[in-house]
A and B are shown apart, each in its own frame.
Chain A
Amino acid sequence: MLYLQLYQAEILINNSKKFSFSDQKKKAYLETLSNLFTAIRTSIDEGYDETTLFVKKSHLDFVFKSIEFLKDSTLNTLPFEVVSCLNRAMNDWIDAKNFIVVTSLQSNLYAFSYDIEYARNYTFYRSLEAEYQIEFKRKLVQINLPLALSRDYLCSVALYHELGHFVDKEHLFSRLAQAEFNSMRRRDRSKLYPYFPYMGTGDNQKKLGYHLGEYFCDLFAAQYVGDTLNYYLEYITTYSDTDTVMHPSTQNRSKVVDDFLAGRYNPVVNLIQKVLEQTIAKRLEIKYDEIDSTDFYRLIPYDIKNDRELHGIFNYGWKVWRSDFSLFNKHMEYDVHLDESAIYKIINNLMEKSIGNYFVTEAWEKGKNE
Chain B
Amino acid sequence: MSSIVTAAKIHKLIEDGELYIKPLLDKDQVTEVGVDFRLGGNFLVSVQGRDPLINASLNDEFGKRTSKHFFQETRRQLGETFILHPSQTVLATSLEYVRLPDDYLLVLCMRSSYSRLGLTMSTIAQPGYCGCLSIELTNYNNNPINLSIGSRIFQGLFYQADTKTRYFEKQRKYVCNVRPEPSAVTNDPDLVILNNLWNTSNKPDSTDTP
Residues of A within 8 A of B (CB): 22, 76-78, 80, 298-301, 303, 332, 334-338, 342, 345-346, 349-350, 352-353, 356-357, 360-361, 363-364, 367
* A350 vs B175: C-alpha distance when bound (angstroms): 11
Contact of A360 with B176 at beta-carbon distance under 8 Å, contacts A336-B168, A337-B171 already known = no
Q: Is the CB of A299 within 8 A of B130?
A: yes
Contact of A352 with B178 at beta-carbon distance under 8 Å, contacts A332-B168, A357-B23, A364-B150 already known = yes
* A367 vs B176: C-alpha distance when bound (angstroms): 28
Q: Is the CB of B78 within 8 A of A364?
A: yes
* A243 vs B176: C-alpha distance when bound (angstroms): 41
Q: Select the stretch in B46-54, B69-77, B106-114 that faces chain A.
A: B69-77
User: Can you identify 19 A-B contacts, CB atoms within 8 angstroms?
Assistant: A22-B80, A298-B99, A299-B175, A300-B20, A300-B22, A303-B22, A334-B166, A335-B168, A335-B169, A337-B169, A337-B171, A342-B175, A345-B175, A346-B175, A352-B178, A360-B150, A364-B23, A364-B78, A364-B150
Chain A nearest CB from B36 CB (Å) reads 14
Q: How many A-B contacts are there with CB distance less than 8 Å?
A: 76
Most chain A C-beta atoms within 10 Å of own C-beta, residue among B23, B76, B166: B23
Chain A nearest CB from B172 CB (Å) reads 8
> What is the chain A residue whose CB lies nearest that of B72?
A76
Contact of A77 with B22 at beta-carbon distance under 8 Å, contacts A336-B168, A349-B178, A360-B95 already known = no
* A361 vs B22: C-alpha distance when bound (angstroms): 10
Q: Is the CB of A301 within 8 A of B22?
A: yes
* A337 vs B170: C-alpha distance when bound (angstroms): 8
Within 8 A of A (CB), among B55-97: 72-80, 95, 97
Q: Is the CB of B178 within 8 A of A334?
A: no
Chain A nearest CB from B175 CB (Å) reads 6
> What is the chain B residue whose CB lies nearest that of A352?
B178
Chain B nearest CB from A67 CB (Å) reads 22
